[in-house]
Structure 1
Amino acid sequence: MRYWKRFEVVVQFRSRFRRGYGAAAFSVRFQLLFGFYLLLCLLKSGTINRLKQHLAGTHKGIKPCPTVPDEVANECKKALLKLQKVKTLQNATLEEMRAVASGNGMGNESGTSPSRPNSHPKARGPIDDYVSAQTSQATLNSKWKKEERKEVCQRIGRFFFSSGIPFNVANDSYYLPMFEGVANYGPSFVPPSMHELRTWILKDEVTNINKMLDGHKKSWKHYGCSIMSDSWTDGRSRCFINFLINSPANTFFLISIDASDSIKSGEMLELHLNKIIDEVREENVVQIITDNGSNFVNAGKRIMETRSHVYWTPCAAHCIDLLLEDIGKLTLHQETLKKAKEAMRFIYGHTWVLDLMRSFTNNHELLRPAVTRFATAYLTLQSIQKQKQALRSMFSSKAWNKSTWAKKHEGVKTRATILFDQNFWPYIAYCVKRVTPLVSVLREVDSEEKSCMGYMYDLMNRAKEKIAINCGSNQIKYGPIWKRIDDRWNNQLHSPLHAAGYYLNPRLRFDERFSNNYEIKQGLFQCMERMLGYEERFKVDVQLDSYGHLRGDFGSQLAMDSKKVRSPTDWWIRFGGSLGLGF
């Protein structure tokens, strides 16, 4: 879940300059989930390309933006890469024209190149690589090519305008390859007709997608898979559910359905999920993952009753965000978050105040983006804590005291909170210490670098231990936090799959901190009982002895050394062959 709804680039032209001559000022701002705008950065002069370089962090002529979200930086990098590809294509065409204009590759009537007597290769120096011998001709060609490109772009634009095609279609990953293919083919290319598009081209593309799907199906059958659902609402308030299938072969987008009339009904959601399970085949499905809405919870539990081999698991990131919300309702946390939110609304809601704040914090932002709403709130508290001295200096400065904001109600209230509220700063430190470990867990489970199933149990245990340490091992202090963690873990988040994943993760199983308690063993055996028949369960139970006692390949030095660098799946593929697992 993003902390912002959308971002936009605001362009302002200065009246004393003409447009197009570096006179534009650019700023990037975000509309946050709670309504007001966050001004990310301001570029007082330059071009939109320079702003993209700034946000992408390329270090090309401008320093990187220290506060840009990763998603925005990645979008800017993609845009710059597309622009570079276009320039490369243009340069290649220009070089070819230069060669033709200078006579290289242009034969005489007999098909041979004209020769000069006593011709010898001209010695080249280092500067020759950068200076063309046909300067005047290249300049003429460049101007002609620029005009020609302008005409072509106008034709492409007319196609977009007449068909009502959204401009962002030009950002599609297949847009540039389409033109590259046409350019490589040459001027004799005949574009496909409507009939070709709706017949053999469409059929071929469907065939290619099905071939890709067949590769994923082999992985589903071999390793099992997880069905993930992602619900979202479009601009017309229609609700859609995307279904994706995750396996060691990566994630495959299967289908998106319009669930506007059924999203609130657990029975209808169960029907949708059952159709997906049947398409993937029940024997290949390990679990289905949904959010924690009551409709999805009811549908998931009913599926577990009717599908004996399938687990329903709530989204871990959503569960932890709800846990942070629970903690945020504690009196001290609620009061602190409220004061911090009011202060941030005032600072980020007024450009002059925001500029003053940045001048005192050396352009360090107070608002900290995170994967969910409540993680953002607590990370912002942490950032405020780090900038305590800067904020106190700001509201004590001459610049602040002389400003009109110092006399307004919002300014007076915010200044009083920062300078004179005796509880504000101690409460921030109190809240940050108790919640930061959970925010770290949220980052881990939301990461796409590795599956969290085999790590979830250990991550939650380590978070609880860290919270206790931060509270000085005083149960009175960490007890309320632990209670809310246990309530969410025991009643919602925890699944036997987490226990099985913990036990079968070699990185954790053979660590000195491994907890081989009854809860872990019970969860492992529950998974085996649900997913395997008796004969298979008996065989696996015996084979687990070899794993637990490091017999065969499991005990090799290579196995022990690689357990920390390989994923659990890759480790089992490599060393599980000694059990005849058939990977």
Structure 2
Amino acid sequence: MPRNKDVLWEHIVQDGRKVRCKFCHEVFVGGVTRMRYHFANTCSKDIRPCKAVPASVRDAALKGVEELEMKSKKRKNMRFSQSGDSALGSILQCGDAHNNESQVIKPKSKSIHLSTRMPAKKEADMAIVKYIVNSNLPFDILSNSDFREACIAVANAGPGYEPPSSENTCRKLLTELMDEADKYVHAVERIWEKSGCTLMLNSWIEGRDTSYLHIFAASAKGVVYLKSLCMVGRLMDDQYVFDFISSVIDEIGSQNVVQFISHSQHYKSIGHMIEGKYPNIFIVNCATHIIILMLKDFEALQHVSPILETAKRIIHFVYKHQHVLNLMRTHTNGSLLRRPAATRLWMNFIYLQSLLKLEHALRHIIGTIEWRDSMPCKSAEGIEVQNMIEDASFWDCAKELMYAVEPLIKTLRVVDRGGSTSGYIYDAIRKAKETIKEIYGNESKYMNFWKIIDDKWNNFLYSDIHAAAAYLNPHLFHDGRVKLDSGVRIGLEKVIQKMVSNNEERMKIAEELRDYHSLDPRIFGLMAVDSLHVSHPRIWWDMWGSSVPVLQNLAIKVLSQPCSFLTAEKNWTAPGATKMSMRDHLESTRLQDLLYVRMNIHLMKTTAKMEKIDLKPIDVDKIEISPDELEEIGDLEYENEEEADESENEAGNLSDTNGFSFSGIV
């Protein structure tokens, strides 16, 4: 716009290529266009807004800015219309040149819309693939929700977006992300006084001389990452690790810690040291780990291994021959069997389950002409596999086996998902044993399963807090599924002794337990009973336990704890961030900050999902077995079978001092 026609020049002093504002005396390089944004108080054009501009001048400048942006948008529409299909040559309305500029008709044809987008999308796809390849990243990153959210955010930012500089990221953006992580951690910490928390220790070894330890705290509000310890050039001796854990406990307050869980049995001696210094803290073994060992031992039973072996041979034959695999896909609408893997141990039960779902399809396939004419199916192996598929006794035994182990697999699904599950493990194991007895009936068969379950339960899965949590679970107790037998009574007494140090409070709990045990209407009123079926036990106690306040506080803490270490989080807690940081020679403080931000931001997302699930009571019978989710448990279980065997041997050395026998409950 010429100088003599723009009224804004009255408020500008020009000096060569520079201009100065008469109101705030800011100096810029440019002309009236840049000053228009300055007077309009916008954040565009890298111009600082004027703090002293009069309202009349600001309004005039803002109107000019809007006119400029409108003209710019029209020019972009013109370029878009000219770069499209040749058939769009008539998109301008007939008329004079003045009207043509403002009457651009946008293409409505879907095919034309896609044709204009496809080159840009292809270019973006190739740019992402090049970045992944050149940065040596796994292609799995494309299914990462954070990566996809970043791509969507970039697209929403529009053309011209440029990523932040490394300096801006380190000095500003990372600090803002740290503040976001702090806000989440502090929100979770505030509930610890009421609900308590469970400390979890994760560790791994990199090379021969470097070890890492991570400590997390899980509670009803969510899971947070607290601190890491990196030890280079020294052994991870028990005393050193205990001192590290002890410092964390002292920071958050030992009265706020209910349990300590480690995914590895290598730290059982450290658990004894923690129990010695902090007698109120329970040392609990990971339920996911122990249940997996139960299922592993099931596979070796005399009447189980032949069934699993037959299932593996059928699946192996299908995947061994491409023609047979294609035949399977054709007759099952793309459904496939799940292939057994040597390192997944108990996952053979999931593969058996997938085979059972396709029983009718397999029986149909072996009767088709394609099967009979296939060379692999005519071979001795093919004929043997066909006989296996035709064997009705195999399918009957396989179904019987899956019905028997299904409650235990559902229990595994419950405890591994996270959340407040301590009130359910006791009854779930009991139900698993009852189901096995009901399915087999024959004592010689079901007792083999029972011996495995009792051995693992009594020796290193059972904890007093599990018995107390089952009794204090109002849903189970009110329905009569948990009785105050000798085992439950002993567990409840030990929990009260450990967690309630005040004698007056113990006496008060004894009185309140009497009312709870007698189903006093003050506690189990009409609304309270209705709430049993819609509210998680810890929430139920918070809503309806006010008439027994001391017992209420204890019950909320006990029922807010998980049963398992967070196995599902190994992928992102393990070497990924730390290895990268060490390669970059980041200082220890920066490394701690990166770990703190990365883990807590991730936990914040998973907590939002978990909170919705953790509001309702858990019905193990209604849990659906998802093979995909259970397969992740199998993948993260152990790096090799030797580790599993070593862990099992060490865990077997643990003893139950209260003389509890699970057989007495069933």
Quickly name the TM-score band, shorter chain normalised.
0.5 to 0.7
Unaligned runs of 5+ in 1: 1-92, 103-131
Q: Distance in 2 between matches of 1:437 and 1:136?
A: 56
Change (3 A) 1:323 1:490: same
Conserved 8 A contact 2:107-2:113: no
TM-superposed deviation, 1:529: 0.7
Conserved 8 A contact 1:437-1:466: yes
Could you tell me which of 283, 293, 299 is aligned with 1:312? 283
2:537 aligned residue? 568
Q: Distance in 2 between matches of 1:184 and 1:203?
A: 24
Letter of the 1:537 counterpart: R
2:219 matches 1:247: yes
Change (3 A) 1:379 1:145: closer
2:428 matches 1:459: yes
Conserved 8 A contact 1:269-1:296: no
Q: Distance in 1 between matches of 2:537 and 2:177?
A: 35
1:62 aligned residue? none
Could you tell me which of 318, 321, 326 is aligned with 2:297? 326
SS in 1 for 2:199: strand
Q: Distance in 1 between matches of 2:175 and 2:436?
A: 57
Letter of the 1:384 counterpart: L
Q: Distance in 1 between matches of 2:390 and 2:500?
A: 64
Q: Distance in 2 between matches of 1:340 and 1:259?
A: 46
TM-superposed deviation, 1:286: 0.7
Could you tell me which of 387, 394, 413 is aligned with 1:443? 413
Change (3 A) 1:181 1:357: closer
Conserved 8 A contact 1:98-1:138: no
Could you tell me which of 216, 222, 225 is aligned with 2:188? 216
TM-superposed deviation, 1:378: 1.8
TM-superposed deviation, 1:237: 12
TM-superposed deviation, 1:318: 1.4
2:310 matches 1:342: no
Conserved 8 A contact 1:559-1:575: yes
1:66 aligned residue? none
TM-superposed deviation, 1:360: 4.8
SS in 2 for 1:454: coil
Q: Distance in 2 between matches of 1:391 and 1:171?
A: 33
1:434 aligned residue? 404
Q: Distance in 1 between matches of 2:408 and 2:258?
A: 27
Of 483-492 and 147-156, the range deviating more from structure 2: 147-156
5 Å-filtered alignment, 1:78-93, equals: none
5 Å-filtered alignment, 1:397-416, equals: 397-408=368-379, 410-416=381-387
Q: Distance in 2 between matches of 1:137 and 1:492?
A: 67
2:207 matches 1:206: no
2:323 matches 1:352: yes
Could you tell me which of 439, 444, 447 is aligned with 1:479? 447
2:526 aligned residue? 557
Conserved 8 A contact 2:423-2:470: yes
Change (3 A) 1:519 1:346: same
2:251 matches 1:282: no
Change (3 A) 1:408 1:237: farther
TM-superposed deviation, 1:274: 3.5
Change (3 A) 1:259 1:390: farther
Letter of the 1:576 counterpart: G
TM-score of the aligned structures, taking structure 1 as reference length: 0.66
Per-residue CA shift, 1:69-128, capped at 9, x if unaligned? xxxxxxxxxxxxxxxxxxxxxxxx99x9579859xxxxxxxxxxxxxxxxxxxxxxxxxx
Q: Distance in 2 between matches of 1:490 and 1:335?
A: 28
SS in 2 for 1:577: coil
SS in 2 for 1:331: coil
Of 144-153 and 246-255, the range deviating more from structure 2: 144-153
TM-superposed deviation, 1:345: 1.8
Higher alpha-carbon Rg: 2
1:106 aligned residue? none
SS in 1 for 2:182: helix
Per-residue CA shift, 1:491-547, capped at 9, x if unaligned? 111110111111111101111333221111110110111122142322322222333
SS in 1 for 2:546: helix
Of 514-523 and 340-349, the range deviating more from structure 2: 340-349
Letter of the 1:579 counterpart: V
TM-superposed deviation, 1:282: 1.9
1:299 aligned residue? 270
Conserved 8 A contact 2:198-2:258: yes
Per-residue CA shift, 1:204-230, capped at 9, x if unaligned? 332332222111111122210012344
2:351 matches 1:380: yes
5 Å-filtered alignment, 1:486-505, equals: 486-505=454-473
TM-superposed deviation, 1:288: 1.5
Conserved 8 A contact 1:392-1:419: yes
SS in 2 for 1:533: coil
SS in 2 for 1:227: strand
Per-residue CA shift, 1:348-388, capped at 9, x if unaligned? 23322222234455655443899x94553123334434544
Q: Which has the higher contact order (CA 8 A, sep 6+)?
A: 2
1:526 aligned residue? 494
Conserved 8 A contact 1:368-1:379: no
Q: Distance in 2 between matches of 1:426 and 1:157?
A: 49
TM-superposed deviation, 1:329: 1.5
Change (3 A) 1:482 1:182: closer
Q: Distance in 1 between matches of 2:322 and 2:243?
A: 51
Of 393-402 and 554-563, the range deviating more from structure 2: 393-402
Instruction: Please tell me the root mean square deviation across aligned C-alpha atoms, in Å.
Output: 4.4
Conserved 8 A contact 2:328-2:365: yes
Q: Distance in 1 between matches of 2:232 and 2:297?
A: 29
TM-superposed deviation, 1:400: 2.6
Per-residue CA shift, 1:260-310, capped at 9, x if unaligned? 98898655654554344344332211111223x441333323322332111
Letter of the 1:510 counterpart: H
Per-residue CA shift, 1:231-251, capped at 9, x if unaligned? 568899987554332111112
TM-score of the aligned structures, taking structure 2 as reference length: 0.58
Name whichever structure is richer in helix by fraction: 2
SS in 1 for 2:420: coil
Conserved 8 A contact 2:220-2:420: no
1:509 aligned residue? 477
